[in-house]
Amino acid sequence: MSAIAKQSKAAGKKRSKSQETWRRFKKNTRAVVGLGIVAVLVLCAVLAPILAPYGPNEQNPRNRLQGPSAEHWFGTDELGRDILSRIIYGARISMSVGLIAICISLIGGVALGAIAGYYGGTADNIIMRCMDVLLSIPTILLNISIVAALGSGLQNVMIAIGVSSIPGYCRIVRASILSLRDQDFVEASRAAGASDFFLITRHILPNCMAPLIVQATLRIGAAILSCASMSFLGLGIVPPTAEWGSMLSTGRDFLRDAPHVCIFPGLAIMAAVFSMNLVGDGLRDALDPKLKD
């Protein structure tokens, strides 16, 4: 028996890093639940035409503002469109806005923060003062001005939302790097012949993943909502298009008589944010070798 145990242990040792991370991720029930919800949402987005019982823009004025029923599980909105179908189609836009905007701000914020934190001095001053300028402008105003400059449309909204949340990531990364930059292991790697780029990407950034993952997963919800408010202002997604945020904002007018018009898109946004958060937390723990087993 001990031979078998030994063998399985030896096999366990040979697992690659990603397998090892997955193994630890699986142990975390909440994270797996989160991943399940994310998977469902992604599936909705991909398979929308197959899954949705009605078309997203199919109007039926006779059935307007109906509550949930067997025909329309989530009820209908003010134009008699099926809310479930609109949520399923909306997943396409909302999820992609959330993810792409976060990617833009992550890439920009991490790169700028890393340069500012690692090199310090003048580079730090220039970058951080620019970030301060961005931070001093209210987010919505900044979004509006970027979209106004680039022209409206989904793509530009994503860029606007991404750019306006760069400062948050930039500050997080800079702060982490300031504390990591002078660590002995960084100096040791430099003494072993590593270049600055190598040091930052291989040694410093992996050590500041935890706050980044948490920030990124939390900001996905904020990005979806920003996109909604942009749509509400007429700068983002044009009305007939199904999008969770804009469904929420049009539903506001009927909140007293037909709350379900708001509740279901709201729940969808909540599910997206919540599940991303769970996945983020799980990922953070699975990637931290000190919390191993």
Partner 1 sequence: MSSEKLLEIKNLTVHFESFDATVHAVENLNLSLRHGETLGLVGETGAGKTTTVKSVMRILPEPPAKIVSGEILFDGQDLLKLPIKEMRKIRGKQISMIFQDPMTSLNPVMTVAEQIAEVIRLHEKCSKKEAHKKACDMLELVGIRPERGSDYPHQFSGGMKQRVVIAMALACNPRFLIADEPTTALDVTIQAQVLELMKKLKAQYQTAMVMITHDLGIVAEICDYVAIMYAGEIVEYGTREHIFNHTGHPYTKGLFACIPDIFTEQNELVPINGLTPDPTDLPVGCRFHPRCPYATEQCAKEHPANFEIEPGHYVACHLARSGGNDNV
Site of interaction with partner 1 (CB under 8 A): 10, 13-14, 183-185, 187-195, 198, 202-203, 206-207, 209, 287-290, 292
Cβ of residue 174: shortest distance to partner 1, in angstroms? Answer: 18
Distances (CA, A) of 272 to 64, 101, 104, 133: 27, 15, 19, 31
Q: Which CB sits closer to partner 1, 96 or 207?
A: 207
Cβ of residue 40: shortest distance to partner 1, in angstroms? Answer: 32
Cβ of residue 13: shortest distance to partner 1, in angstroms? Answer: 6
Strands (DSSP E) contained in 76-157 are: none
At 275 the three-state DSSP class reads helix
The one-letter amino acid code at 209 reads M
Cβ of residue 183: shortest distance to partner 1, in angstroms? Answer: 6
Distance separating alpha carbons of residues 265 and 255, to the nearest angstrom: 13
Q: Which CB sits closer to partner 1, 209 or 233?
A: 209
Between helix 17-27 and helix 260-287 the angle, nearest 10°, is 130
Number of H helices, E strands in the chain: 14, 0
Q: Which CB sits closer to partner 1, 14 or 256?
A: 14
Cβ of residue 175: shortest distance to partner 1, in angstroms? Answer: 18
Q: Which CB sits closer to partner 1, 14 or 62?
A: 14
Report the chain's terminal Cα–Cα distance, integer Å.
23
Q: Which CB sits closer to partner 1, 29 or 195?
A: 195
Q: Which CB sits closer to partner 1, 209 or 263?
A: 209
Q: Which CB sits closer to partner 1, 184 or 257?
A: 184
Q: Are 250 and 265 in contact (CB under 8 A)?
A: no
Q: Which residue has the tokens 């340069």?
A: 115
Q: Are 176 and 186 in contact (CB under 8 A)?
A: no
Going by C-alpha positions, the residue among 123, 130, 53, 43 that lies closest to residue 84 is 53
Instruction: Give the count of beta carbons closer than 10 Å to the beta carbon of residue 164.
Output: 24
Cβ of residue 240: shortest distance to partner 1, in angstroms? Answer: 48
Cβ of residue 284: shortest distance to partner 1, in angstroms? Answer: 12
Distance separating alpha carbons of residues 141 and 168, to the nearest angstrom: 17
